[in-house]
Amino acid sequence: MPETGRSATRMGHLVTRADFAGAILDSSIHVSFRTRTDSEAPVTTARRELLTTVLSAGAAAMTPPITSAETGRDHDHDHDHDHSHQKLPSDPALRVKSLESLLVEKGLVDAAALDAVVEAYEHRIGPRNGARVIGRAWADPAYRRRLLTDATAAIAELGFSGSQGEHMVAVENTSQVHNLVVCTLCSCYPFPVLGLPPVWYKSPAYRARAVIDPRGVLRELGLELPEEVEIRVWDSTAEIRYLVVPERPPGTEHLSEEELAARVTRDSMIGVAKVA
């Protein structure tokens, strides 16, 4: 798509049906996108979360669904005898861990290599990188201008570049305009500055409704915008990734660049939240 914002009311691509959580989503069905409470804080990718993201699809495919017969919870008889029914956890991370162990045991995955990937996303790649970019932009007007002019080069000044971040565009929120990022085709995301995408960002429901009803999606995520504020929806692609520059909160003029960066959240750089 061109490197210009498209108002949601002028989007030519309209998704009317998508499979989400076993239900059919269309314009007559309301779907909530409430994020977890910890999504408003800078994210630290743990081993469990990364493994869930990378391997959960494979685990789900290889592990049959758990039925009531297997759990023994809904069997149809009355009794007073005391026996233990095993309650299997529903957390897919357990399946993921089992799959990881199996792959390592079979020699298909190197545990050290896996640890290196986790360490990279936990300590070198992630929202803290994007927060440093925003902190610099707020503290340094000259850098902010470079970021809005050539985001790829400006971000590289801080040492952040690489796969999924080769062609970056920064879009700035103001009191009149609010930017929202989505990938309508899959889950294109700027890994070098934001790390791994959250689960809700990849969901068909968010990808469809962010285009059709961005104001409603933001409201469900806890961000109520005045009607006079224009919402611009940016569709990330394999060629271009977007980074939202949030509005700087009032009363932060005395804060240092590092202190400013500490206040920036992942969600604010996607455009589904503001910085408090």
pLDDT in tens, 133-153: 999 999 999 999 999 999 999
Is the pLDDT higher at 35 or at 271?
271
pLDDT, tens digit, for every residue of 41-86? 443 444 444 444 444 444 444 434 433 333 344 444 454 544 444 4
How far is it, in rounded angstroms, from Cα 65 to Cα 79? Answer: 27
Domains and CATH numbers, the chain: 44-61+91-124 (no CATH), 126-270 (3.90.330.10)
Residue 12 is which amino acid?
A: G
How far is it, in rounded angstroms, from Cα 121 to Cα 49? Answer: 11
Nearest Cα to Cα of residue 124 among 70, 196, 69, 74: 196
pLDDT, tens digit, for every residue of 121-133? 766 778 999 999 9
Residue 115 has pLDDT above 70, yes or no: yes
Q: What is the pTM of this model?
A: 0.63
Is the pLDDT higher at 55 or at 255?
255
pLDDT band at residue 25, thresholds of 50, 70 and 90?
very low
pLDDT of residue 28: 31
Residue with tokens 């030519």, as numbered in its chain: 12
**Highest mean predicted confidence (pLDDT) among 26-35, 74-83, 111-120:** 111-120
Question: Length of the chain, please?
Answer: 276
Between the CA of residue 127 and those of 182, 195, 269, what are the distances in Å?
A: 17, 6, 8
Active site residues: 183, 186-188
pLDDT, tens digit, for every residue of 188-216? 999 999 998 999 999 999 999 999 999 99
Q: What is the DSSP letter of 36?
A: P
pLDDT of residue 16: 28
Nearest Cα to Cα of residue 195 among 102, 117, 92, 113: 117
